[in-house]
Amino acid sequence: MATPYAKLPAWVDFGLIPFINLLVAFIVAGMVVLLVGESPLHAATLMVKGAFGSGEGVGYTLFYATNFIFTGLAVAVAFHCGLFNIGGEGQAYIAGLGVAVPCLMLDSFLPWPVVFLVAILGSAAIGAAWAFIPAYLQARRGSHIVITTIMFNFIASSVMVYLLVGALKPKGSMAPQTRTFLEGGHLPKLDWLLELFGASIRSTPLNVTFLLALVASAVVWALVWRTKLGYEIRTLGFSPKAARYAGINEAKIIVITMMISGALAGMMALNPIMGDQHRLQLDFVTGAGFVGIAVALMGRSHPAGIIPAAILFGMLYQGGAEISFEMPNISRDMIVIIQGLVILFAGALEHMLRPTVSTLFASMKPSSMTVDGAVAGDN
């Protein structure tokens, strides 16, 4: 059979089904909250309020979302090539060097735009280089990219610990981190953007990297759907046989795609390092690389889906912090459970409810769907 289920209208496919998945995730999460002995309704109110209730909340939500947009795009680009880049975490972590080193070297005498530019290139280059090794091993040696990128997360982590307790640590300091950057290594905040919407701000970490993330989203869209390279990436992703038939150099495309993916993951490092903490710290990525997988899955590997998905996860992060602050019974780990449930239902079980929704739609309004030729026949 060609298509066991009829084609759904786009708004169902991209709107309703993700929404239902999300709803189910929250219902299950609510039950967990109930088990702990708190009111799920109260928790939900706290979460939404914490994330969007104040200018500050929005600022934090979008700050986290910035990280997830980058890592989500990174995973999405690799997905289009049929590659599962689990190494976003490590690529972003090691790319912290590409941000911190230019800042440390240039912050005393250059203005932030110049340092920013160098840091963008630096983080992208180092992220790409870190992704290059697993990509090369996959393309030339057939080592599975899932395994190698996971391994490279550990290597990145160890390398960074080594550097942060050694070469990068200022002499005499006890903390495993670099010195704080001077003015040239600070990115401007986007408080004015929030104030535009009438929010009054105390202080949020939201900075220009958010705008860079939006630009990156547009670039990724154009790259995947409008360039020859994107065409080759998608062909290879959908059908390696068709790619070989079309004369597409498989190894080359795998390596290029992974390097683009790594570069995107690497640029995530700009946000916390240059935008917020103004120094390179241990574990600054805090799982954003892995959240990127969920964001890409939920956003269907399309920038237009990734941005809202990233904001949703930003909300979970920010609102979750709020809940654990207000409800002592609900620890930080509970928030991770809720995030896990969202990932489970929106990502891994994405297809669980689809058949039901399809059937429901087919029976409800059969006229709303177009007949796409004789699909349901033999073959």
Partner 1 sequence: MSETAIELIGINKSFGAVHANRDIHLEVPRGTIHGIIGENGAGKSTLMSILYGFYQADSGEIRIDGKTVTIHTPNDAIAFGIGMVHQHFMLVENFTVLENVMLGAENAALLAGGISDARAELDRLEKEYGLEVDPDAVIEELPVGLQQRVEILKALYRGAEILILDEPTGVLTPAEANHLFRILRQLKEQGKTIVLITHKLREIMAVTDNVSVMRQGTMVATRKTAETTVEELAELMVGRRVLLRVEKGEANPGDVMLSVEGLTVRDSRGVTMVDDVSFNVRAGEIVGIAGVAGNGQSQLIEAITGIRKALSGTALLDGQPIGVTGSADPNELRGRGMAHVPEDRHHMGLVLPFEEYENSILGYHDDKRYISGPFLDMDAIRDDARVKIGKYDIRPDNCRLKTANFSGGNQQKIVLAREMERDPSVLVVAQPTRGVDVGAIEFIHKRIIEMRDQGKAVLLVSVELDEIRSLSDRILVMFAGRVVGERTPEATEGELGLLMAGVESQEAAE
**Nearer to partner 1 by C-beta: 2 or 31?**
2
When asked if residue 369 is in the footprint of partner 1 (CB under 8 A), the reply is yes
CB 125 within 8 A of CB 172: no
Question: Where are any strands of DSSP class E within 94-168?
Answer: none
Question: Which residue in 337, 367, 316 sits closest to 65, CA to CA?
Answer: 316
**Nearer to partner 1 by C-beta: 2 or 211?**
2
When asked if residue 370 is in the footprint of partner 1 (CB under 8 A), the reply is yes
Work out which of 37, 172, 328, 373 binds partner 1, going by CB under 8 A: 373
When asked if residue 374 is in the footprint of partner 1 (CB under 8 A), the reply is yes
Work out which of 42, 144, 244, 332 binds partner 1, going by CB under 8 A: 244
Tokens of 87: 């190494």
CB atoms within 10 A of CB 86: 23
Integer Cα distance of 23 and 314 in angstroms: 17
When asked if residue 372 is in the footprint of partner 1 (CB under 8 A), the reply is yes
- Residues binding partner 1: number (CB under 8 A): 40
When asked if residue 226 is in the footprint of partner 1 (CB under 8 A), the reply is yes
Q: Give the nearest distance from C-beta 272 to partner 1 in angstroms.
A: 32
When asked if residue 215 is in the footprint of partner 1 (CB under 8 A), the reply is no
When asked if residue 246 is in the footprint of partner 1 (CB under 8 A), the reply is yes
Integer Cα distance of 266 and 286 in angstroms: 14
When asked if residue 108 is in the footprint of partner 1 (CB under 8 A), the reply is no
Question: Where are any strands of DSSP class E within 282-339?
Answer: none
Q: Give the nearest distance from C-beta 333 to partner 1 in angstroms.
A: 39
Integer Cα distance of 42 and 35 in angstroms: 14
CA dihedral of 221, 129, 295, 204, whole degrees rounded to 10: -100
Of 34-42, 156-164, 245-253, 312-320, the segment contacting partner 1 by CB under 8 A is: 245-253
When asked if residue 117 is in the footprint of partner 1 (CB under 8 A), the reply is no
Integer Cα distance of 323 and 330 in angstroms: 7
Q: Give the nearest distance from C-beta 138 to partner 1 in angstroms.
A: 18
Work out which of 49, 169, 234, 300 binds partner 1, going by CB under 8 A: 234
When asked if residue 228 is in the footprint of partner 1 (CB under 8 A), the reply is yes
When asked if residue 378 is in the footprint of partner 1 (CB under 8 A), the reply is yes
Work out which of 41, 242, 348, 360 binds partner 1, going by CB under 8 A: 242
**Nearer to partner 1 by C-beta: 7 or 169?**
7
199 φ, ψ (degrees, to nearest 5): -90, 140
Question: Which residue in 286, 283, 313 sits closest to 297, CA to CA?
Answer: 313
Beta bridge partners of 281: 177
When asked if residue 6 is in the footprint of partner 1 (CB under 8 A), the reply is yes
User: Residue holding tokens 């498989």?
Assistant: 250
Work out which of 4, 142, 166, 172 binds partner 1, going by CB under 8 A: 4
Site map 125..164 versus partner 1, x via CB under 8 A: ----------------------------------------
Integer Cα distance of 235 and 255 in angstroms: 15
User: Residue holding tokens 């929250």?
Assistant: 26
Integer Cα distance of 140 and 104 in angstroms: 37
Q: How far is CA 359 from CA 22, 181, 348, 351, in A?
A: 20, 58, 21, 13
The residues of the shown chain that bind partner 1, judged by CB under 8 A, are 1-7, 222, 226-228, 231-232, 234-235, 238-239, 241-242, 244-248, 358, 361-362, 366-367, 369-379
